[in-house]
Structure 1
Amino acid sequence: MSNDELNLRHITPAFRTFAGGDALRRFVKQLDRDGLTRAVIITVPAILEHQDAADHLRNALGDRLVGIFDGVVEHSPVPDVLAARDFLAEKQADVVVAVGGGSAVVTARAASILLAEGKDVRELCTQRAADGSLTSPKLSAPKLPQWVIPSTPTSAYAKAGAAVRDPETGDRLALFDPKIRAQGIVLDPVLAGTAPEGLVRSASLNVLSMAVEGLLSRTRDPLADALLAHALRAVKRWLPELKADPAATEPRLQLMLAALMSGQGSDSTGGGLAQALAHAVGPRSAAPNGVVEALLLPHSMRFVTDVVPDRFGLIGDVLRTVDSSAEVVVEAVEDLLAGFEVPTRLRDVSVQESALAEAADHARDDWFITAVPRVPNHEEILDLLRNAW
């Protein structure tokens, strides 16, 4: 087989997408078909403060709803995930419904993994082996089915992992289990309207960054490329529409679909350097994770120009650059991010220079860094962060 011959492995897990005014009704019918009668919602307090949305959700689920856990916290700290696990056990849930953004989705998944496996999170998380490689234990216990009713776009919809944060050490603990993938997503206009515009914007920047870095993968997968390219195209098109009319439903739903495509596409190509760095830097900043990731994106793109120069043309096609050279494409991405008012320096989002070394240490242990086409060492990570600072 020649080096130019296509050779890929692309898996499309079963996944249902319901969108529009009757999305919740279709979702409930699906629960009935699956024989699920004890639904627990995992969400943030802000969702329940929207009384119309909360009533809309409760009325749709009816007596299938046996409890609402509203203790989700940003970055999914371990103590709050353990509280969600205990709530699922107490309510004898047979289906978990994450309502909100990425933190709700991750908390719901992580709580379900911990409930099923019955072990400490550090026994179950991805760890560094003796040879220096990162390995994920095989988690064999059956998991509760998961559904997502989002209020923001997040690529977490379609993922098989959940990363929680140890607030005592700052460690990011990644849990991976294909059985915890969501059964589907419910794009409801009422729930979609509950998130502030700024939150939708920052989440969309994460979607954009993941799409760009997915397109810069070494993986040659036209199916993934199509998903990622359209996700990038959709964010470019619909984020300005959101700014022009923050209350409009259409931009929010379209950005959620972009998030789904970005998540599914990057599932095949792997994560990116900006994503791994943002996981480490984000909790040390004053900005949402999506903003930090977008800030770091041009730096991560330049880091891989020598190893995947041919992939920049895929991004250039979407952004309609004058040519497909790496520098021209990176500059086009910088212009796009400037239009979205993304800061250009880590110091502008309150990251202290003294925190960079520790962030570099944590980034090296991030699973996503293993998929980067040019895997950096500690000094290269630190240099990149210093340049961004």
Structure 2
Amino acid sequence: MDLDLNLRHASPAFRTFCGQDALAALPRELARVGARRAVIVCGPSIVKHGDALSRVHDALGEHFVGQFDGVAEHSPIPVVKQAQQFLADREAEAVIAVGGGSAVVTARAASILLAEQRDIRHLCTRRDADGRLVSPRLAAPKLPQWVVPSTPTTAYAKAGSAVRDPQTGERLALFDPKTRAQGVLLDPTMALTAPPRLAWSAALNVFSMAVEGLQSRHIDPLADAQLAHALRTVIAWLPHLRTDPEGSRPRLYLMLAALMSGQGSDYTGGGLAQALSHAVGPRSSAANGIVEALLLPHAMRFNASVVSPRLAMLADILGLTDRSTEAVIAKVERLLDLFEVPTRLRDVDVTEKDLVEAADHAMDDWAITSGPRVPDRADVLAVLSNAW
């Protein structure tokens, strides 16, 4: 691996508010961009927590003009189109995504469809005539976004929106930096709305993205600092979801870790476990974060031959004196065991037949191109089979 230092690190404008008074910043944030009409995008599970949701309503005050609460897992295209129409009907000038990753992605994707007014297949990342994955430039101005999260998702700071076609099972990726959130507001009451199990599975994605980002071939010490601290934070605070399930403090720390992992991995790129989880997750009975963590050691073994200098750094972050590849992967496996992650895809109801279809879909995932070792289809199928 080429470790020459050659980077460009441009930090997007992003504001983070955390604590009991975090939501009080919402009116000021809207005024900052001149937005008067704000629509909330959330799922049915958030609606059940009226006290938490009313805190967002109260903070928005006269700016609140409607609430789309039909968000569904994996952001299916029909739901995204419903959200698009809702934004149009309410003449929205800003979007507040409330909830987990699906709410954030649905809000972004709906904003793209609203602004671009074209079929989603003309807007998504696809292969060009030379077989390269390319994302079309989406020029239309987009509605400003803010996130009030209920789970520690790395989606907070991203510019991508991956939606699912329920008819074909395809994952269509939209990319537009103009949909990147203006900021995140970490409210302790909202943080407690998610069941501990859901917060746990989301934090596993934070852990996996940090580990994969720290193995990237794109060397960026600034991003490494974010990823390293995100990793330490997850290791320190994830066990508290069991010992203190009703405490907001562990959840807020995990949300900050999610923000760091999401921002850091923006510079280092995705990885093999991430790409495979995008393809396998919807075919399993488990959340994507669980599937991604399950696949992580297998992806690390696939990459091991080209990432030894990076694994040595990862060993230091994990507090290992033995900096060998085997020791690092073994440590990650011990942590996943501590985090109670299943060890086989069959344990989360993935069938052997699913592996072939997932391998095909994974090859069209942008994240697979940014790992330290780019696999071919046979490699992907072998990794999935080993994990099965």
Using structure 1 for the length normalisation, give the TM-score. Answer: 0.98
User: Residue 338 of structure 2 aligns with which residue?
Assistant: 339
Following the alignment from structure 1 to structure 2, what is the Cα–Cα distance between the partners of residues 146 and 32? Answer: 13
Partner secondary structure for residue 306 of structure 2: coil
Following the alignment from structure 1 to structure 2, what is the Cα–Cα distance between the partners of residues 385 and 287? Answer: 16
Following the alignment from structure 2 to structure 1, what is the Cα–Cα distance between the partners of residues 340 and 86? Answer: 40
Unpaired runs of 5+ residues, structure 1, are none
User: Residue 276 of structure 2 aligns with which residue?
Assistant: 277
User: Residue 175 of structure 1 aligns with which residue?
Assistant: 174
User: Residue 130 of structure 2 aligns with which residue?
Assistant: 131
Following the alignment from structure 1 to structure 2, what is the Cα–Cα distance between the partners of residues 83 and 166? Answer: 14
Following the alignment from structure 1 to structure 2, what is the Cα–Cα distance between the partners of residues 286 and 24? Answer: 34
Asked whether the 8 Å contact 1:161–1:174 carries over to 2, the reply is yes
User: Residue 196 of structure 1 aligns with which residue?
Assistant: 195
Following the alignment from structure 2 to structure 1, what is the Cα–Cα distance between the partners of residues 109 and 4? Answer: 39
User: Residue 39 of structure 1 aligns with which residue?
Assistant: 38
Count, aligned residues: 387
Following the alignment from structure 2 to structure 1, what is the Cα–Cα distance between the partners of residues 26 and 17? Answer: 7
Residues 22-71 of structure 1: CA distance to partner in whole angstroms, max 9, x if unpaired? 10002222223332210000001111101211222211111111000001
Partner secondary structure for residue 246 of structure 1: coil
User: Residue 363 of structure 1 aligns with which residue?
Assistant: 362
Asked whether the 8 Å contact 1:18–1:27 carries over to 2, the reply is no
User: Residue 143 of structure 2 aligns with which residue?
Assistant: 144
What root-mean-square deviation, in Å, do the aligned CA atoms of Structure 1 and Structure 2 show?
A: 0.9
Asked whether the 8 Å contact 1:229–1:314 carries over to 2, the reply is no
User: Residue 216 of structure 1 aligns with which residue?
Assistant: 215
User: Residue 265 of structure 2 aligns with which residue?
Assistant: 266
Shift of residue 5, structure 1, vs aligned partner: 4.5
Following the alignment from structure 2 to structure 1, what is the Cα–Cα distance between the partners of residues 82 and 168? Answer: 19
Shift of residue 322, structure 1, vs aligned partner: 2.8
Matches for 1:108-123 after TM superposition, within 5 Å: 108-123=107-122
Following the alignment from structure 1 to structure 2, what is the Cα–Cα distance between the partners of residues 26 and 354? Answer: 50
User: Residue 106 of structure 1 aligns with which residue?
Assistant: 105
Residues 102-138 of structure 1: CA distance to partner in whole angstroms, max 9, x if unpaired? 0000000000000000000000000111111100111
Following the alignment from structure 2 to structure 1, what is the Cα–Cα distance between the partners of residues 249 and 27? Answer: 23
Partner secondary structure for residue 229 of structure 2: helix
Following the alignment from structure 2 to structure 1, what is the Cα–Cα distance between the partners of residues 39 and 331? Answer: 44
Shift of residue 298, structure 1, vs aligned partner: 0.2
246-255 or 30-39: bigger deviation: 30-39
Residues 164-207 of structure 1: CA distance to partner in whole angstroms, max 9, x if unpaired? 00000011000001111100000011111100000000000000
Matches for 1:10-89 after TM superposition, within 5 Å: 10-89=9-88
Following the alignment from structure 1 to structure 2, what is the Cα–Cα distance between the partners of residues 348 and 334? Answer: 16
Following the alignment from structure 2 to structure 1, what is the Cα–Cα distance between the partners of residues 174 and 4? Answer: 35
Asked whether the 8 Å contact 2:209–2:274 carries over to 1, the reply is yes
